[in-house]
Structure 1
Amino acid sequence: MTQRRPRMNFREMFNMNFGFLGIQFGWGLQLANMSAIYQRLGASPDEVPILWLAAPVTGLLVQPIVGALSDRTWGRLGRRRPYFLVGAILASIALFFMPTSSALWMAASLLWILDASINISMEPFRAFVADKLDAGQRTAGFVMQSFFIGIGASLANALPFLFREMGVTGNTASGIPLTVKYSFQAGAVVFLLAVLWTVFTTSEHPPEDMAAFERERRERSGVGALFGEIGGAMRAMPRTMKQLAVVQFFTWLGLFCMWMFFGLTVATHVFGATDTQSELFAQGTEWGGLMFSVYSIVCFAVAFLLPKVAAATSRKMTHAAALVCGAAGLLSVYFIHDRYLLVLTMVGVGIAWASILSMPFAILAGALPAHRMGVYMGIFNFFIVIPEILASLTFGRLIRGIWGADNPDASLYMVMIGGVSLLVAALAVTRVDDVGEPDAAEVIDADAHERLTVQGSVQPVPSSGLQG
């Protein structure tokens, strides 16, 4: 029988999730700026989707492997934290050099390295929350991740705009704005420091039966056993996970439409830019990045309201309503030509984003066996990256075949498709069986009713000098 986890207080939950701020800082810079970087390096709009292929392919390969490996890992840094650390170091190097790219092949190659590294850090974080928290606190734990994701993305998306306001002008030799270059290099530092904070301030629960854990680890050693474990987990996938897979597919298809094309839509549809090398185009894409910071601000502003809404209704109905808000936000872009009204569209997206980052994972965690949390969280990522692979391989053909490769409105139409996809996801989530729905109200005010306790049952890791 699985041992009940000690209740975590706010400070402990804060430290445990703080690394996600850095991870999302890196993601946010990439999502808001890579399409514009590619176009400045000579890519046409119909070539942009295929250049994004790095992200889903690396996620498809890396996340289940890292999840399975972390399930069978235990050492001085615990189970999940070694992967946080290695991924953060590699991602920070890629972030630093990305804006120095002088050609498309260089930017695309660095994106592969960046995405692989971010996936190494990010996948174990989902399992980390499920490992550390009892079922009654998992919704709050994933919501705390949403909070830090919102903060990290807000800062990352606004940074190029803020550098411009501070007087930074000019481009690199390859045409990438210095505002973007400095933002990526600042992001490299933030990513590494945030992950280090979690690594050195949070311990992990050791296996409950260390002898059995070591015996099983020896029996499952080798590449064949690793892939066999992943295959076996896929065949034994819980019913709730299969239902959530449909929700995730359409959710992330919609999000990729937004991430790939929203910045370009702002530049062409709202700012009226026709030349990708013009100052007006740069201002439009920077404004698009600033709007991404708006939805991220809304995300962390509403994140802690979600458990209360879920307690009053249910987690799946909360998620469905949030997805409808996101769909409305994206579909409304068609009617907007005033840059300031775009703020309203991002309010809807921000509500959806807060739920997307927490509710599916909270629902999923209650349906998974504890000893296979890592591999299942990695497999769950398939239903995020498969729609992105589909988007990368087909969106370019769709644009060329329906609207024409150089049609300036093509990006707007792709954002509309994103809104429709979120509506389909909202319908699908109503059919999900949430087998582990807790009393979500208690996770908000638990610390007001329980005094802080020392987690004496948790084996500490060797002192790092930063742990008290």
Structure 2
Amino acid sequence: AGMLWIMDASINVSMEPFRAFVGDMLPKKQRASGYAMQSFFIGVGSVVASSLPWMMSNWLNIDNTAAAGELPDSVKFAFYAGGLVFLAAVLWTVYTTKEYSPKELSEFEKFEALHHSKELEPRQVKTAKRYYQAGLFWLGFGLILSYLLYHYLEQLDKSLAILTLGMVVFGVCQLIAGGLSSQSKTKNGFSQIMADLYSMPAVMRQLAAVQFFSWFPFFAMWTYTTAAITSHHYNATDTSSLAFNQGADWVGVLFSTYNLTAVFAAICIPIVVRYSNLRIAHMINLLLGGCGFISFILIDNPVWLIASMIAVGFAWASILSIPYAILSNALPVKKMGLYMGIFNFFIVLPQILAASILGILISKVFDGQPIYSLVVGGASMLLAAVLVLRVKTNN
């Protein structure tokens, strides 16, 4: 588990500079295409990676069986290959691409502000008093919520503990920032990050809500699709039964479908943007995805779930590209990397929330039927589509 945490953290640390890299290297009119191409290669990589153990087993005759508690060689070598490809991809970019210096980027920003009559958003300054007020609120709210959940559930679920105690930690961070601010010690990295978190551009705040409700459905899908389809469409809950395994195999086909669709959708997105704008294109894709998730409970024949996954694939390609294109057009270039990293919070937070509440909702509200987790996810994505309309952008 520790190794998976390290791997996941490393991938995220590597991913965000690449998000900022597109914004740094491309003019605004090309950023939608740039991020769409990222979605294209993410889709291609996902399909190849999902198929890699099978290819190693069938093409290279690598053993795909193992004793209990062991990993098959096909899975091990797939991870080795993934690590080498990941390292090679990063090194290829590092050594073959000339990056603009901070000074050059600053000149570009001044030029755009001058010729497009667009002033950079003024930086807000948070006083020590405001830090203390926010810190006490989050600290108190987190502690009270932890107590109430513990009292109601008789024991605090680990996932819920991460959510509520995270609020406590955030409150403590605010109090520390307030203490540093009161002593005029604001030139350190911690204070600057807390200040930047507070002074996010308005577009970023609006996109954060969209991003939160867009990612929640995918964490629900990745966690509960197998249980949902095997129980609802194959009437199987016994993991050793033939019907359950047929359903689980079909889930693999469906996951490949949405990743393949994302490859195609990534090509279509710049075309749609050209004839509308970033917001409208994103709203359309999120509406498709939301309807796709909800349709899981309406479709009886699992074969037709491919249509649902095609709709989900368009949403997947869109959330990997369009929000970053909108955001990069609204950020000061000097803060591009930092704000892209902060923006990643709104991918992590819905993951924590999904892990915290979906299991409880399924067991206590939906009578143990995991198919409703996908319906909740669909409703969340439809809400995200509506929230896109609140994002104020010229694109």
State if a TM-score over 0.5 links the two structures: yes
Equivalences for 1:286-325 in 2 at 5 Å?
Answer: 286-325=249-288
Counterparts in 2 of 1:374 and 1:145: CA distance versus 1, 3 Å? same
Cα shift readout 1:143-164 (whole Å, capped 9, x = no counterpart): 1111111111122234456567
Which SS does the other structure have where 1:265 is aligned?
Answer: helix
Q: Which residue of 2 aligns with 1:234?
A: 197
Letter of the structure 1 residue corresponding to residue 11 of structure 2: I
Matching residue of 2:116: none
8 Å Cα contact 2:362-2:372 kept in structure 1? no
For the 8 Å contact 2:366–2:372, the answer to whether it is kept is no
Aligned counterpart, 1:81:
none
Which of 31, 37, 46 is residue 153 of structure 1 equivalent to? 46
Alignment correspondent of 2:376? 417
Distance 2:55 2:346 in 1: 35
Distance, in Å, in 1 between the alignment partners of 2:233 and 2:89 is: 35
Q: Structure 1 residues 165, 415: CA separation in 2 closer, same or farther (over 3 Å shift)? A: farther
- Aligned-partner residue type, residue 358 of structure 2: F
Conserved? CA contact 1:234–1:379, under 8 Å:
yes
Match of 1:393 among 349, 356, 366: 356
Indicate conservation of the 8 Å contact 1:253/1:388, yes or no.
yes
Do the aligned partners of 1:316 and 1:429 also contact (CA within 8 Å) in 2?
Answer: yes
Q: Distance in 1 between matches of 2:379 and 2:58?
A: 35
2:69 to 139, 154, 174: 174
Match of 1:203 among 98, 107, 130: 98
1:189 equivalent to 2:152? Answer: no
Partner of 2:118: none
The answer to whether the Cα contact below 8 Å between 2:64 and 2:75 also exists between their aligned partners in 1 is no
Q: Distance between the aligned counterparts of 2:253 and 2:81, measured in 1?
A: 17
CA distance 1:190–1:148, change in 2 (3 Å)? same
Cα deviations by residue, 1:170-207 (Å, 9 ceiling, x for unpaired) = 34422766665554344333323333332332221123
Match of 1:137 in 2: 30
Q: Is residue 186–residue 192 contact of structure 2 (8 Å, CA) maintained in 1?
A: no
Q: Which residue identity lines up with residue 295 of structure 1 in the other structure?
A: Y
The 1:293/1:423 distance shift into structure 2, 3 A limit, reads same
The residue number in structure 2 matching 1:361 is 324
The CA deviation at 1:277 is: 4.5
What is residue 20 of structure 2 aligned with on the other side?
Answer: 127
Between the aligned partners of 1:179 and 1:334, the Cα distance in structure 2 is 35
Contact 2:40 2:262 in 1 (8 A): yes
- Which residue in 1 is equivalent to 2:7? 114
Equivalent pair of 1:156/1:293 in contact (CA under 8 Å): no
Q: Could you say which residue in structure 2 is the equivalent of 1:26?
A: none
Mean Cα displacement is larger for which, 317-326 or 172-181?
172-181
Partners of 2:229 and 2:91 lie apart in 1 by 36
Report the Cα offset of residue 400 of structure 1. 2.9
Q: Is the 8 A contact 1:161 1:286 kept in 2?
A: no
TM-score (norm 1): 0.62
| Pair member with larger Rg | 2
Alignment partners' CA distance in 1, 2:46 and 2:30: 24
Aligned CA distance change for structure 1 residues 236 and 354 (closer, same or farther; 3 Å): same
Amino acid at match of 2:348: V
What TM-score do the two structures reach when normalised by structure 2?
Answer: 0.72
Q: Which residue matches 1:433?
A: 392
2:310: which partner in 1? Answer: 347
* CA drift at 1:234: 1.5
How far apart are the structure 2 equivalents of 1:383 and 1:248? 6
Where structure 2 has 5 or more consecutive residues not aligned to the other structure, the ranges are 106-184
CA distance in 2, matches of 1:342, 1:161: 23
Compared CA separation, residues 362 and 352, structure 1 to 2 (3 A): same
C-alpha distance 342-160 of structure 1, shift in aligned 2 (>3 A): farther
* Contact 2:203 2:327 (C-alpha < 8 Å) held by counterparts: yes
2:299 equivalent in structure 1:
336
| 3-state SS, counterpart of residue 170 of structure 1 | coil
Report how many aligned residue pairs link the two structures. 314
1:426-465, CA deviations, whole angstroms, 9 ceiling, x for partnerless residues?
Answer: 0110111114x2xxxxxxxxxxxxxxxxxxxxxxxxxxxx
Deviations 1:405-432 (A, max 9, x none): xx4x32x111111111110000110111
Matches of 2:382 and 2:296, distance apart in 1:
15
Q: CA deviation at 1:403?
A: 4.1
Distance 2:250 2:277 in 1: 36
- Do residues 379 (structure 1) and 272 (structure 2) align? no
Distance between the aligned counterparts of 2:72 and 2:217, measured in 1? 28
SS of alignment partner, residue 396 of structure 1: helix
Listed one character per residue, the Cα deviations across residues 13-68 of structure 1 (whole Å, up to 9, x for unaligned) are xxxxxxxxxxxxxxxxxxxxxxxxxxxxxxxxxxxxxxxxxxxxxxxxxxxxxxxx
CA distance in 2, matches of 1:324, 1:191: 33
Provide the rounded CA distance (Å) in 1 between the counterparts of 2:245 and 2:12.
Answer: 29
Secondary structure at the aligned position of 2:188 is classed as helix
Q: Please give the per-residue CA displacement for 1:314-336, whole angstroms capped at 9, x wherever unaligned.
A: 11011001001111111111133
Percent identical among aligned pairs is 45
Tell me, which stretches of 5 or more residues in structure 1 are unaligned? 1-107, 211-221, 438-468
